[in-house]
Chains A and B, each alone.
Chain A
Amino acid sequence: MLSRTAANLYWIARYMERAETAARLLEVGARISLLPTAQGYRNEWDSLLRSIGATGAFAAKYGEPGQRDIESFLFFDRDNPSSVASCITSARENGRIVRTALTTQVWDALNTAFQELRNIEATPRSELELSRLTDWTMRHAAMVRGAIDATLLRNDGYNFLNLGYYLERGDATARLMDVKYYVLLPRADYVGSGLDNDQWIMLLRALSAHRAFHWAYGGEVTAGKIAHFLILNPQCPRSLITCVAGANNHLSRIAKLYGRQSEAQDKAAALQAMLESETPERIFEEGLHEFLSRFIRETASLAGTVVDTYLSGDML
């Protein structure tokens, strides 16, 4: 397969997942701002921007963060490459480029999302509630994902698509947790307080994992259980370990298909082994923020190796 084609497929997945993350961020921010916190309104939105490293870009365009501007920035703003509108447009354009590597159903799902986005953009903002925007985004992300799973040939392109999904999703879960833990909680001594738990529950909701968590663990919500669920539990579809194992699986399939191992497989396997040997206690000992930062760095390094090995075409 042409390296560029593989790259287009990989980026379709990353952009769709990123659109979903932007929507989840909006949701978690909105929910947290509804809590009767000590910090007041502004801090929540500010911290959300910090988690995605967009404080500077936002301030340059909008100044002080407020809900409406954040909505503009994360959903509509074409200048923000990670906004829902930018991501869906990019995913669809990547899809158009490799139209023949997709089934009609996958193209339809991408194209429908794009066409509906144009309608949303033409709708007065007063008629668009935040929840409608986030639901819409997640619904279309699911439709694209479903069309891929149901109709696409299981060839190398399928593996590159999934690789994109898992790498992006792992990164997103880590960042969302980091918003909560590092940025939102103002002081370390709040850990374990009522405020702390409320925020954790909000986070679970944003990851659509609220009920799943209770089914899996029951009883009290504790930071340890949640960290276990979102980092180490392979049953959780968005946990770090699920994402790394998924990436590892698709990389192994590629190695088998091509009859050749590469550094990418080694890195993914090492990352999975690292997570398998972790416990919540050790993570908290290291510091959750430190652990998550390390994970984000290592995922980025793995993604870089995937690009160098397969997607850039520079391998000789």
Chain B
Amino acid sequence: MTTHFNEMYLNGEVRSPYARLEDWTRSMPAELRIQKQAEAEALFRRIGITFAVYGEGGDPDRLIPFDMFPRVFTASEWARLERGIKQRARALNAFLVDVYGRGEIVRAGRIPAALVYQNEAYEKTVVGFIPPKGVYSHIVGVDIVRTGPNDFFVLEDNCRTPSGVSYMLESREMMMRMFPDLFRENRIEPVDRYHELLRRTLNSVAPVKCDREPTVVILTPGHYNSAYYEHSFLADLMGVELVEGADLFVDGAFVYMRTTEGPKRVDVIYRRLDDAFIDPLCYRPDSMLGVPGLMDVYRSGGVSICSAPGAGVADDKAVYTYVPEMVRFYLGEEPILNNVPTWQCGKADDLKYVLEHLAELVVKEVHGSGGYGMLVGPKCTKAEVEAFRLKIVADPGNYIAQPTLALSATPTFVEEGIAPRHVDLRPYCLVGERIELVPGGLTRVALKEGSLVVNSSQGGGVKDTWVLAE
């Protein structure tokens, strides 16, 4: 493997955005650091920011490890990222409206019809329906990795219900509380407008039949869901009700929630629940989490659902390879952010290449998430690689492969002191009447030395992400 880019240093010099942090770490004795770390953990626990993991024994309320060493972007680095992310969010939404409509991009031969229309995530139930403001994906989480000072790549898009934004907000709160001096010395763009922007975004996509200030709710699968904390956190910040399926019901042309004062009409549902579960009459009949009849109300303009059912076809890992094509096709622009080169095992040539170079590649399931079901070639034993080979051969269409990128690293507090650890970045782009992006995002860090897997379910942690003001 090639050596990775350490975001703090370049040619032996400290890069400008990290200049002040150099002094900060030098002036911080180990005891203070340990004390601060304990303080942070106690605060997280106390506030209840946990990641609930049921059914595995042990403490059901786990903390996501929080690393106090921030990750920093300059204003100009961010400006480029911001343009690239917004461009992508626009293209993805244009694609969704198109493929549930006339399918121009398919007719033009820019993406294979089978990949779209036979995709598991393609929702036939919403064909011909255009959601309010033409937005399918209202919160687009774009996962970005870096390999050099100017080299950013999009690893994947999350168009349905990307999670983790609460960690972005809470990590910042924690840092401001523990190290106020850092915020006085560095000019750091604030992220705390996120919930206002989210509320505004959701308000802006009220359904056609809504003739008043819309009532917004967040729909959660319930308190056993691992992201429940985030659901309740966002509901609380926005001042909206956090509902479960059973709290809602359909009566005639509208959806209502059950309150202590009787039924109250609901206009916009920010759901943190997969399509398959939201309406047992329309999708999985065994779902206890959804609202029977919801889709009828949705399609007749009585309620908005964010993200819109069907949005998943845009963040499929096989469709991903065509996002740069979408940017060109719908926007007539060149993509600002590049994809990671990707081989689709469903294509004969690609498959041949992948099988020949398996030990060097990262292979992922098309519909997988959370870092599960993937092969990181260079980190695996021969036997593991061979076992994976059989899985690919059995169902090539289910896999894509990418080169093992030399992910950038940032300094991270570890037991021995400070050491570089690999990171990625997930900003949250909001799409409604306008497209908004708070300057920052969730930086996930692989805490194990050398590890490239940043997922919280597999030992990843989080960091505060700074964007410096001009």
A and B: real partners?
yes
The answer on a CB contact under 8 Å between B259 and A2 is: yes
Enumerate A84-105 residues with CB–CB distance to B below 8 Å: 93, 96-97, 99-100, 104
Evaluate contact between A315 and B232: CB separation under 8 angstroms. Answer: no
Given A2-B247, A2-B257, A314-B258, verify A108-B236 contact (CB < 8 Å).
Answer: no
Is the CB–CB distance between A104 and B244 below 8 Å? no
How far does the alpha carbon of A289 sit from the alpha carbon of B283 in the complex, in Å? 55
Q: How large, as a class, is the contact surface on chain B? A: 20 to 34
Chain A contacts for B260, CB-based, 8 A: 1-3, 6, 156, 160, 254, 258, 310-311, 313
Give residues 302-316 of A contacting B (CB, 8 Å). Answer: 310-316
Query: Closest Cβ of chain B: how far from A316's Cβ, in Å?
Result: 6
Give the complex CA separation of A3 and B259 in angstroms.
Answer: 4
Main DSSP-derived SS at the B contact region: mixed
In the assembled complex, the Cα of A150 lies from the Cα of B233 at a distance in Å of: 23
Interface string of B238-281 (1 = CB under 8 A from A): 00011110110000000001111111000000000000000000
> When A and B form their complex, what is the total count of cross-chain residue pairs whose Cβ atoms lie within 8 Å?
59
Contact B46 A2 (CB under 8 A): no
Partner of B243, one of A2, A96, A100, A311: A2
> Smallest CB–CB gap between B91 and chain A, Å?
36
State which of B48, B241, B258 has its C-beta within 8 Å of the C-beta of A96.
B48
A4 adjacent to B246 (CB under 8 Å): yes
Residues of B within 8 A of A99 (CB): 48, 229, 232
Verify B258–A97 contact, CB threshold 8 A: no
Q: Are A108 and B258 in contact (CB under 8 A)?
A: no
Known: A4-B246, A4-B258. A97 touches B223 (CB 8 A): yes
Partner of A3, one of B223, B229, B236, B247: B247
Contact status of A100 and B47, CB under 8 A, knowing A315-B262, A316-B263? no
Contact assessment for A100 and B259 in the assembled complex, using a CB-CB cutoff below 8 Å: no
* A107 contacts B by Cβ under 8 Å: yes
Select which of A4, A100, A258, A313 is within 8 A of B235 by beta carbon: A100
Residues of A within 8 A of B (CB): 1-6, 93, 96-97, 99-100, 104, 107-108, 111, 156, 160, 254, 258, 260, 310-316
Contacts A1-B260, A313-B247 aside, 16 further interface pairs with beta carbons under 8 A come to: A2-B242, A2-B243, A3-B260, A4-B243, A93-B223, A96-B228, A97-B223, A99-B232, A100-B235, A108-B46, A156-B260, A254-B260, A260-B261, A310-B260, A311-B260, A313-B260
Residues of B within 8 A of A (CB): 46-48, 223, 228-229, 232-233, 235-236, 241-244, 246-247, 257-263
